Amino acid sequence: MSNPVWEWLVRSELSAYQANERFAGPSAFAAGPGWCFSRFGQSTTELEDGRVVLVAGEHEDHYDPDFFIYNDVVVRHPDGRIDIYGYPREVFPPTDFHSATRVGGRLVIIGCLGYPADRRPETTPVFVLDLETFSMASVQCHGTAPGWIHSHQARLSEDGASIVVERGKLARGHGASLVENIDDWRLELATWEWVRLTERDWPRWEVRRSDGRPNQLWELEQALWARKYPDDEVFQRAEKGESVGDLDVYERRYAPPLTHEALPEVEEEFGVHRIQVQGVVVRYVEDSYSVQMTVEGSLPRDALDALAQDLFEKLSALEGTACELIVL
């Protein structure tokens, strides 16, 4: 596609809001989202000749009027030229948080978060992009697939015959939380067969509010900072702490009544906390609606019950309302 405005937006990476302001355009609330190239969940692949292939991605979060998930491919040439390829939804649907693995003259695109209505928990989307013609094709795979996976890692095997997929998250259907993918998978490129490489029987639970509303962990964290750093104006919200829950309980939320060791946080992770119990890592992952706990190994039943009950009781107390303890 040839569109000088889009090419300018690729180079400038202005947000949709900023671009609209430049042109004094109508509000996105009335006109819908504006096209832009300020995206996340986009893959980047550099070719030997210096071209960079950027696939799809999304702009903003779902509550923003400019939220949009793209289904295009942009190629940036070393001399500054830009090619933009668009596809019908039935050929290449809106795609974000996928992986893109170079296999010879092709790019194998695996997974997607996508719009909720497009998610199919029983399938794993796979597409092949021809790096010469930039045609896109959907691949019908068979075997035991991961499911609707996104934000994962994918790597070409040493022999180039398969792609190994690890980590990431899985969408499980309407009303169900995203869960971590704790297993490893292999996609055979000659046959397009999925093979499950591991079957980790790790106990997992989730605690969330029964009323479906967001939890108060973010507000509690701000209140805790205000208490720790009373001279920092950014965190002057100590009075908020009295209304959102007991800050002492909040600080101990991942300190169960078992002998354990708190493990260092990983710098690039957010909302992830780990402890070690009887030599087994217990991982807590927070989001706006839930806390998921994964026991990365085997523990006695009484220890598992104590961990689950401790998390449930503390989060229920912090929220001040009924919560649910769900086995994942």
Q: Given this model, what pLDDT does residue 232 score? A: 57
Same structural domain, 173 and 227: no
Strands 142-143 and 193-196, by their bridges, are: parallel
Based on the domain organization, do 322 and 241 belong to the same domain? yes
Q: Look up the pTM and report it.
A: 0.88
Name residue 291's beta-bridge partners: 207, 286
Same domain, 191 and 220: no
- Please identify, among 148, 176, 196, the residue that sits at the C-terminal boundary of a domain: 196
Query: Six-digit token pair at 285?
Result: 């992952």
The upper half-sphere exposure of residue 55, i.e. CA atoms within 13 Å in the direction of its Cβ, equals 29
Domain count, the chain: 2
Average pLDDT for 205-216: 96
Confidence of residue 240 (pLDDT cuts 50, 70, 90): very low
- What percent of the chain shows pLDDT beyond 90? 88
Q: Answer yes or no: do 175 and 226 share one domain.
A: no
Cα dihedral 310, 315, 318, 323 sign? negative
CATH of the domain at 141: 2.120.10.80
| Cα–Cα distance list, 138 to 35, 107, 127, 135 (Å) | 25, 12, 4, 10
Quote the domain boundaries for residue 29: 4-196
- Residue 245: its pLDDT value, please? 74
48-75 pLDDT per residue, tens:
999 999 999 999 999 999 999 999 999 9
Q: Is the pLDDT of residue 242 over 50?
A: no
Can you give the chain as a three-state secondary structure string?
CCCHHHHHHHHHCCCHHHHHHHCCCCCHHHHCCCCCCCCECCEEEECCCCCEEEEEEEECCCCCCCCEEEEEEEEECCCCCEEEEECCCCCCCCCCCCEEEEECCEEEEECCCCCHHHCCCCCCCEEEEECCCCCEEECCCEECCCCEEECCEEEECCCCCEEEEECCEEECCCCCCCEECCCCEEEECCCCEEEECCCCCCCEEEEEECCCCCCCHHHHHHHHHHHHCCCCHHHCCHHHHHHHCCHHHHHCCCCCCCCCEECCCCCCCCCEEEEEECCEEEEEEECCCEEEEEECCCCCHHHHHHHHHHHHHHHHHHHCCCEEEEEC
Residue 250 and residue 143 share a domain: no
How does pLDDT run across 277-293, given as a tens digit for each residue?
999 999 999 999 999 99
Tokens found for residue 143? 């075997």
Q: Are residues 31 and 145 in the same domain?
A: yes
pLDDT at 241: 43
Do 229 and 129 belong to one domain? no
Q: What is the pLDDT of residue 2?
A: 81
Indicate whether 213 and 315 sit together in one domain. yes
Q: Which of 196, 226, 244 is the last residue of a domain?
A: 196
- Give the pLDDT confidence of 1-10 residue by residue, as tens digits: 889 999 999 9
Q: Are residues 265 and 302 in the same domain?
A: yes
For the chain, give the mean pLDDT.
94
The percent of residues above 70 in pLDDT, for the chain, comes to 96
Query: Which pLDDT does position 236 carry in this prediction?
Result: 52
What's the pLDDT band for 231 if we cut at 50, 70, 90? Answer: low
Task: Say which residue the tokens 């309980």 belong to.
Answer: 249
Higher pLDDT among residues 319 and 175, named by residue: 319
What pLDDT score does 131 carry?
A: 98
- pLDDT for 235 beyond 70: no
Using one digit for the tens of pLDDT, what is the confidence trace for 153-177?
Answer: 999 999 999 999 999 999 998 878 8
The verdict on 78 and 191 lying in the same domain is: yes
Same domain, 43 and 170: yes
- Quick one: 261 and 218 in the same domain? yes
CATH number at residue 267: 3.30.310
Q: Please say which residue of 150, 177, 196 terminates a domain.
A: 196
